A and B are shown apart, each in its own frame.
Chain A
């Protein structure tokens, strides 16, 4: 089911959370809303779900105006950052909730809950209470709960934000596979660019209540629309008016005409990747990213004099 956002604005007191935002999400797509905190990404998601009301603008779901519909009527699945688990209900009761309020037959509910428990790999945990689950398990339960009524759209608000790094990575892959199987239109909010690039087909970059760019992950990185996207997605050096990615700087030991002299300030070894901070002769600070082999060949060390040259630059 497609989602269309038309000229939506929202203000909290003096804070402009959304400023005339428009967005098209195709049916069946997996989309990330990416931005720093306060960029309006969560507010936009909550407005799509009907949990907040826009001050102006329109929301269409499956081509129909849904602006005036209540959350209950919109048929969206929503996953909250802090799980919003029903603490007084078992895992099974949590997942069954959306079906029970729809008065589905008992037998149907039971089999659907069993299927979902298997889908989120929580078989055997059905009779536990949320307090007895780990964070990752709770979030899987919340996902199963949101999926139970077969929503037309799945919305996730920083779903992995409260989890530790390893569990995050695991759930990320899992969400991707789930989407590949069900093709439910999915929109998730994240402030983690790696998460957005890893999982989504399409990334919406937001900043200060506006949409900065909508593009597939690769295009976002290779062809950022403006300076904000350039600096927010991936690391970048700003030299005067031009931008250079740390891996687009060539480092050599002998000057060759187009290079400039720089001194090594710091070298950090991160396994395969080696990061170095250089200070150019004009005082410009540069972050450089090399492979382990490149760094070894240069025998890169603090205080060393090297010569750098950008191989690829972007000017806005």
Chain B
């Protein structure tokens, strides 16, 4: 019994170390390879700063939109018995199953010079492709499911008895949502927001396809990592990666802090 248990534990932890933690630790090592001064020069480069700003702007637009959408979607899936609820449920998962590259390509085909909507926008002087709008749309798409996926099981678990009670006490649908439903799912929403944020900050594929990757213009932080690495600027690549990795550690900590509370409700 004990031998087997230790064997399993050793296997699991060894696997995690090999695939997960080892590589991560190396980013920190490499980033400081050429000293803190070099790291600082990399990070204070105007193009790097701009890349982080752009990433922040995209996340700032995407996260609130997807939060509202995710909560509405979860309510539709769990609370309203309408034909096609199962379809909505499946469609919400779509962005998880589709490659970001394919997402990027479809935007390319829609908004490109020869695409369905591209010419119309071009005539009206709005640049979609190789500009902020397409990058935001791409990010919205790939980070769409996270809030809904967290909220759906929580909504199922709390049931609708509290909401019924609120209605018998004279609360309107709107009052019931704000006073009963939302407080009950708040930690699931927060958790979903954290995941959404992580995905927005880290998205590469879809954005890489539609952005054009112009340094100082349409280059996000993740694109900057690739650009620097491929131009043999190892310090730059590892520097930006370090900041992104640090952000994801913050995200992880946030996730850990939020999760137990959610379970104890």
A: which residues have CB within 8 A of B? Answer: 49-51, 70-72, 75-78, 80, 82, 84-88, 97-98, 101-102, 142, 145-146, 148-149
B180 within 8 A of partner (CB): yes
How far is B166's CA from A148's CA once the two chains are assembled, in angstroms?
A: 13
Give the residues in chain A near B183, CB-CB below 8 Å: 88
A-B contact pairs, 5 of them (CB 8 A): A71-B168, A78-B168, A84-B164, A98-B171, A146-B169
Nearest chain A residue, comparing its CB with the CB of B165: A84
Within 8 A of A (CB), among B176-234: 179-180, 183-184
Chain B residue contacts of A142, Cβ below 8 A: 165
Given contacts A86-B180, A87-B184, A88-B183, contact A101 B170 (CB under 8 A): yes
Q: Give, as a whole number of angstroms, the nearest-CB distance from A95 to chain B.
A: 10
A148 contacts across to B, CB distance below 8 A: 169
B175 interface contact, C-beta 8 A:
yes
A101 touches B184 (CB 8 A): no
**Which residues of B are at the interface with A, using a C-beta cutoff of 8 A?**
161-162, 164-172, 175, 179-180, 183-184, 265
- Which of B170, B179, B265 has most chain A Cβ within 10 Å? B170
A98 & B169 in contact (Cβ 8 Å cutoff): yes
Contact residue among A76, A77, A97 (Cβ-Cβ distance under 8 Å from B166) = A97
Residues of A within 8 A of B164 (CB): 51, 71, 78, 80, 84
Q: Are B180 and A71 in contact (CB under 8 A)?
A: no
How many whole Å from B260's CB to the nearest CB in chain A?
Answer: 15
A101, B168: Cβ atoms under 8 Å? no
Whether B184 pairs with A149 at a CB distance below 8 angstroms is: no
Task: List B contacts of A71 (CB < 8 A).
Answer: 164, 167-168
Q: A149 contacts which chain B residues (CB < 8 A)?
A: 169-170
Check if B175 sits within 8 Å of A101, measured CB to CB: yes
Q: Are B172 and A72 in contact (CB under 8 A)?
A: yes
Q: Is the CB of B171 within 8 A of A101?
A: yes
Contacts of B265 in A (CB 8 A): 87-88
Chain A residue numbers with a CB within 8 Å of B170 are 72, 75, 98, 101-102, 149
Complex partner residue of A77 from B168, B172, B175, B180, CB under 8 angstroms: B168
Question: 8 shortest A-B CB distances, which residue pairs?
Answer: A98-B169, A78-B168, A84-B165, A84-B161, A71-B167, A101-B171, A88-B183, A101-B175
The reply to whether B184 and A97 contact each other, CB–CB distance below 8 Å, is no
Q: How far is the CB of A107 from chain B (nearest CB, A)?
A: 20
Contact (Cβ within 8 A) B167 A145: no
Q: Which residues of chain A are within 8 angstroms of B168 by Cβ–Cβ distance? A: 49, 51, 71, 76-78, 146
**A192 to B184, alpha carbons, bound, how many Å?**
33
A30 and B8 alpha carbons, distance in the complex (Å):
63
- On chain A, the residues within 8 Å of B175 by CB distance are 101
CA distance A98 to B179 in the complex (A): 11
B-chain residues with CB within 8 Å of residue A72 when the two chains form the complex: 167, 170-172
